[in-house]
Amino acid sequence: MSSVAVNPAAFVRPSADQLRARIEASLGEQLSSSLLLGERAAPLTVPFGIAVLDELIGGLPRGALTEIAGQASSGRTGVMLAALAAATRREEACALVDASDSFDPASAASAGVDLERLLWVRCNSTHPQKRRGFSQPGASRDGFAFSGASELEQVLKVTDLLLQAGGFGMVVLDMGDLPAQSVRRVPLTSWFRFRRAVEPTATVLLLVEQEPGAKTCASLVLRMRSESLCASEAEQPSSSARLTAEGQPSIPKKPSVSHAALLRGMRFRAEIERSWAQRKPPQSAGARIELRTAI
């Protein structure tokens, strides 16, 4: 009886890469290049405007959707203004879709934003007293006012128009003051349409929200949290004796508030919840940010 030699390697299950190589080799030119699985190249990035975040993340991805999530006073607005300031310093035209009419041009200018390069779209129609000099929504057929449309519908429609128009280095959609449950009701198809609109461009699409809502359509999700206040003691009057007009030494006055302190800024923590480089980064991947008040 003759024995047959068996090669144990023939029963080893090939890996996914080996199977892929065999399929591509067997099909050859019959396989369209559009069906080949290629490694997705890392997107081009631009600086955040905050050195700590640039070191942690590598910058804001162009042609992608980025989310900055956080509650009120979490530093989300400060990061947004820093990103806008960095973009305008690069002489890029930027657009801000202000869903709740909360943007303060004076604070933005103090943060370094060039207002001459910023298109500010105000979508909230619930505060007419804040709109002096601006036409009321629905009063005209021109512009970005849509009669009968809800506030969130206006925001999405304006953002879609801006992305389709092109020419902006950064488009910011500020929905930080909208209820989180309202943002969660935005259909995933809307975020997917926004992502597909910016993919072939060099535009940075930045969403500011309380909770992340774009899900897998976002290439970068940054969670902001407040940590502490930065304060310094108020300057105390000099204790050295001074002479009055009559030549008598004067007694220095005590401060009206002995425990007074000056607010110098706030400390925040930024954590990566999603990144184009790593879909599930560790929860400890974060950095502390300190934003100073304008003096």
Tell me the residue ranges of DSSP E strands in the chain.
Answer: 45-46, 60-61, 64-69, 94-98, 118-122, 170-174, 204-209, 220-233, 242-243, 249-250, 261-274, 286-292
219-228, 230-239, 267-276: least confidently modelled range: 230-239
Arithmetic mean of pLDDT, 150-158: 86
* Per-residue pLDDT at 226: 83
The number of beta carbons lying within 10 Å of the beta carbon of residue 275 is: 19
Tokens of 20: 């892929």
Task: Check residue 133 and give its pLDDT.
Answer: 38
Q: Quote the pTM value.
A: 0.68
Mean pLDDT (whole number) for 256-273? 72
| Position 268 confidence tier, pLDDT thresholds 50, 70, 90 | confident
Neighbours of 113 (CB within 10 A): 25
pLDDT, tens digit (0-9, with 9 covering 90-100), for 278-287 = 645 544 456 6
* Confidence band, pLDDT 50/70/90 cuts, at residue 141: very low
Q: What angle do CA 114, 118, 121 make, to 5 degrees?
A: 145
Q: Where are the domains of the chain?
A: 46-228+261-292
Give the residue from 105, 122, 104 showing the smallest Cα distance to 114. 105
Lowest mean pLDDT among 17-26, 116-125, 278-287: 278-287
The pLDDT value recorded for residue 19 is 76
Residue 205, pLDDT above cutoff 90 = yes
Interstrand relation of 204-209 and 170-174 (parallel, antiparallel or unpaired): parallel
Q: What is the pLDDT of residues 64-117, one digit of tens each?
A: 999 999 998 888 999 999 999 999 999 999 999 999 899 999 999 999 999 999
Distances (CA, A) of 183 to 92, 193, 208, 224, 272: 28, 16, 11, 18, 20
Q: In this predicted structure, which of 49-53, 110-114, 253-257 has the lowest mean pLDDT? A: 253-257
Whole-angstrom distance, CA of residue 238 vs CA of residue 252: 7
The answer as to CATH 3.40.190.10 being correct for domain 46-228+261-292 is no
Q: At what angle do helices 188-198 and 151-165 cross, to 10 degrees?
A: 20
Supply 219's token pair.
């290439």
Question: Contact at 8 Å (CB) between 250 and 244?
Answer: yes
Query: What's the pLDDT score for residue 25?
Result: 73
